[in-house]
Each structure stands twice: as C-alpha cells, then as structure tokens.
Amino acid sequence: MIINYFTLRALSSEFNDTLGGATILDVFTQQKNELTLSISRPPGKGEGKADCGLIVCVDPKLCYVTLRDRVTRARKNSVNLLQDLVGSTIEHISMRLFDRTIIVKCSRGMSLFLQLYNTIASNIFLVDEQKTVREAFKNNKELKGTRVDFPAPRFDPAILDDPQCFTEAMESNSSRTALAAVKQTMPILGTTFSREALYRAHVMETTRVGDLPEEAIAIIREEIRRIIREVERPSPRIYYDVYQMAILSILPLAHLESFELETFSSVNAAIQRRIINAFKEERGNKDKEELLERIRKELNRAEHGKEKSTMRVKEGDDPQYFERVGNILLTHLTEFRKGMKEIVLTDLYSGTTSIQIQLDPTLSPVENAERYFEKAKKRKLAIEESLKRRRELEGKISNLRTLEKVLARSDTKEEIKEFHREYDQELRGMKFIRNTPGEEQPPFRMFIVVGGFEVWVGKSGANNDLLTMKYAKPNDLWFHVRGASGSHTVLKVKSNAQPVSKEAIVQAACIAAYYSKMRKAGNVPVAYCERKYVKKPKGAREGAVTLEREKVIFVKPRLP
C-alpha cells in the first residue's frame, strides 16, 4: 500500500502543500536505486524547519517516496545527478490520473516524473515542456532525448457510474474469484481495498463470480464507491497482524479491525514508519539466510569430520593383532635374543601356521614383547578417541540438522524471533551468535560440551557461591570433585531439552576435576546432582555446600 494509487495521490497532495515554492539545493544519489533532493522550504512551511530531503527509491523490491526533515550527504560514495534542477523552484506537485506517477513541476520549464511501479519499469525522469527526457535516473543513455512513454490507463471511472457496465465487467470474470474479479475490474484499488470492499459487502473473497447474484454485485459497486469517497479524506494508519507484519492504509479497514493499530498525523509519517518496518523485515530475512548458510556450512564440516574420524583398521594394525604377537613372543622367549631384527615363530593361536614378527634389535626379548603390548594399548586408545570424536560429531550433526530444519521453516518475523529464543543456548554454544557489546556476560569460565550444552565454572569461593546460589537453575547439573577443594561446576540444562547425554556429563565432570586440587591425578571421583539438591548451610564459609541425592563418577581431569 506504500505505492497504492490513492496513497500516492494523498501523499502528493501533502507534498504540494509542504513544498510549494521550495528551492532545490542539491540532487544526488548515495544509495543504489535511491535519489535524494535536498530542499530549502520557504518560511512558514515544514513546521518551521528550513531544510528537508525528498527521497525517491525505485528499487523493484521496495518502491517509495518520502519527505524527511533532515538529509545528510555522505562525503564519499555520492554522485551528482539531475543538476539542471539545482536552484529551481518547485511550483506544483500532483499525480497523473489513474497512474502511479507523481509529477513535480519546477521552474525553468522542467518537471520531474516519479514512476513508482514496484517493477523494473520504475524510474525518475527530468523532462522539458515537450515531455522529452533531459536526464533519466536509470538507463540514461538509452532514454535521454526520448519522450516519456506513459502506459494507457487501466481504469475508466465511468464504470462506477453505470451499474450495468460494472455488472458486465464483473460477470466477464465469471470463473474467477470475487477478489480476482474486483482487482481486474478496479485495478486502482489494489488488493487491500478490494478485500475491504468485499468484506463490507459481506461477500467472501473466494466466491466464484458466476455464483454471485446481481444484487451482491450491486452492493460491491456501492462499497467501492464509498471507499473512493473516503480516500478523499485520508486517515493514515498501519495495521499489524499477529506476526507484526505491517499493512498501511489511508482509511479505516473493517476487515482488519481485530489487528493492532497505529495512526499517524500525515500520510508521509505513515509511509516513513512502513519503510522502517520493511527494512527491519528485509534485515530479518537477510539475517536468517546468512545464519542458515553458516549452519549448513558447519553441518558440511561436521559430516566431513565424522567421515574422517572413523578409523579404518588395516591388517597388521589391529590392537588384537599386537596383543597376539606380544603373547606369542612371551611363549618363545628362549628362541630369540637381543640384536635380532625379525623371527618366524609358530602362531600359538592357530597351532599350525607360522608368523613372521619384526623385532627391535636394541631391545631384549621381554622388552620386544612389552613393545607390542604397548602398541596394542596405544592403538586401543586411538580407536576409543576416534569413536568418542565420532559420537561428539554425531551429536553436533543432530543439533545442526534440527537448527537447519526449524530455521528454514521460520518465515515470519515472530517465528524467527521464537527460533532465536528457543535455540539461543545452542546458537551461542556453536558461536553462531555472540553477545552484543554491553550485554552482560556471566563472570565464570565457560565451556561447550557434547550436545551444545554450556558448562560454567566458578573462579573463587565467592564466585562459586554466586554461580551455585544465583546463576544455576534448579534443574541444572552441579559438579564438584569429592574429597578435595575445587571449583563449583554447573552444566546448564534447558527445561525443554532432551535428557543430557552421558558423554556431556562425563565431560562436565572432567572439567570439574581439572579445576580442583586433584588436577594431576589419574582417576578422580566427582560428585554430581541437580542444583536443587545443593544447599548452603547458614554461616558456612564461602564455597561450602551440602549435597543430597548425589552420584559419583570417576574421570580423568581434562578440558574439552
């Protein structure tokens, strides 16, 4: 409705009252598809302000014209255009009849034509008295020197004065819906006003015209005539639906009476607000696509990492093979000696076949056997680490797929907001969003474990109390090394999340063990329970608490 014919007509009337007699000081562009006219208004106009800017945007995605009280030209990346207008006076501003073209008539026999179609045909022309183009904002080389070509009007007002003519026009669309037929018959109304006419006439939009009695068509005609009379007295407003999508109108809309309403003192003010809303919607969609692209890239990396993390055991590289070789060497210690590089021995596991074994000549027979046992141990650990990494990546992939699926289905502004509220912890944990400048950061060490869960760790006795008694929620998991001093550690749990995996609990316990006096121990007992079972006795020293219903897990101190 920003460039609805009636909206533009009301807007041009406002501009004529405000800018009549104003002087054009400068004309330039500093944004793609946007032209700015810096204007000095005569005394007594513009609420006492001397300078303003007429901003015209001919972007096919969002076409508009608005008057701003302040306009600033950038020192760089701005280009002079339509310089023949500089110093001229605005004499009159009007609308071309039944066409979305605003005509700004200036002194020196020049006029500025603002064609606002929301298509690639939208443009701005500086023309002379013969309507020859002196300069065009877009495609100037092709259009300069040509005559402005206006499309033929798509509407004949006589159709509303003749009931029979209107009925015949509607019935010529007998197979179409009532809404489509009204829009075809009355193209200047646009979708919103067409809907309003049908609503006032108590006709459903989806009703086929062929099913409408002539009496209903006559009522539709009368409601359209009433709407056209009402737009002569503009009452600008913006309606917001449940998703905060904005609909601008210059008259009250009965079919939107349940929507949230914001009214304005002028059409220009309403358009400025609608433009701001449109930019926010566009920014929201752009942010969504950028975030979706980042999620998909991270998903591809995680899936590739999962493939790489799968260790393929080659022949002769199996930990069981190394253990067998070690045992074979132990049963034949008397058959070889230090200094030998290899030996062929009977495979005790088969009883008949022989096996060729590589030896380290610098080691004794027992040391060679121990070397194979050590190889088996290291290989087992490597495979376990590979499986652990694979499980972590599988969890990450599952989370990323959920984020991708939910965000891709979030179309409205409210749905995107809900996505950010619902998955804020996961998005921050995966570094997709960061705290904005000035946003309060929890004063603790923070880690991310399997599943995207955050783990917060206290830094001192007082900080431990702050974490446990203020920042931890009742269902969060609380960890502390058993039998030694250490930091309080909290695994943050979302109330609507799935149960925390065993791997995440182990990782949180490892962090708690790491930030304790038992950091250098090999196996550390860590107690954990839900935060609601952690109590602080009255008068207890800083960091001292008691536990109920705790469980104990033995882990190796380390960070994720």
In terms of pLDDT, which residue wins out, 385 or 131?
Answer: 131
For the beta carbon of residue 23, count every other beta carbon within 10 angstroms: 17
Q: What does the mean pLDDT of the chain come to?
A: 87
CA–CA distance, 65 with 118 (Å, rounded to integer): 12
Residues 95-126 pLDDT 10s: 999 899 999 999 999 999 999 988 888 999 99
- For the chain, give the percent of residues with pLDDT over 70: 92
Q: Please say whether the beta carbons of 244 and 414 come within 8 A.
A: yes
Q: In the predicted model, is pLDDT for residue 423 greater than 50?
A: yes
Residues 234-276 pLDDT 10s: 999 999 876 566 899 999 999 999 888 999 999 999 999 888 8
Tell me the angle at which helices 502-514 and 365-408 cross, rounded to the nearest 10 degrees.
Answer: 120
Q: By C-alpha distance, which of 95, 130, 133 is closest to 114?
A: 95
CA–CA distance, 169 with 183 (Å, rounded to integer): 11
The superfamily in CATH containing domain 5-143 is ibrinogen binding protein from staphylococcus aureus domain (2.30.310.10)
Residue 154: left if φ>0, alpha if ψ -120 to 50, beta else—which one? alpha
Residues 477-521 pLDDT 10s: 999 999 899 999 999 987 655 678 898 999 999 999 999 999 988
pLDDT of residue 46: 47
| Sheet order of strands, 23-31 included | 62-68, 51-59, 34-40, 23-31, 79-80
The two tokens of residue 221 are 């005609």
Using 50, 70 and 90 to split pLDDT, how confident is the model at 203? very high
pLDDT of residue 315: 52
**Which residue spans of the chain are classified as CATH 2.30.310.10?**
5-143
Q: What is the DSSP letter of 441?
A: P
Residues 37-95 pLDDT 10s: 999 987 755 444 447 899 999 998 889 999 998 788 887 888 999 999 999 999 999 99
Planar angle of CA 344, 345, 349, nearest 5 degrees: 135
**Which residue spans of the chain are classified as CATH 1.10.8.50?**
158-267
Query: In this structure, which amino acid lies at residue 401?
Result: R
CA–CA distance, 11 with 223 (Å, rounded to integer): 23
Q: What is the DSSP letter of 239?
A: E
Residues 309-342 pLDDT 10s: 765 555 557 888 899 889 989 988 988 999 999 9
CATH of 158-267, one of 2.160.20.10, 1.10.8.50, 3.90.550.10, 1.10.1740.10: 1.10.8.50
pLDDT of residue 243: 56
Residue 66 to residues 36, 272, 457: CA-CA distances in angstroms? 10, 7, 54
E strand map for 236-300: 237-240, 246-249, 260-263
CA–CA distance, 505 with 482 (Å, rounded to integer): 16
For the beta carbon of residue 403, count every other beta carbon within 10 angstroms: 25
Tokens 């500089």, residue located? 86
Name the pTM for this structure. 0.56
**DSSP bridge partners of 560:** none
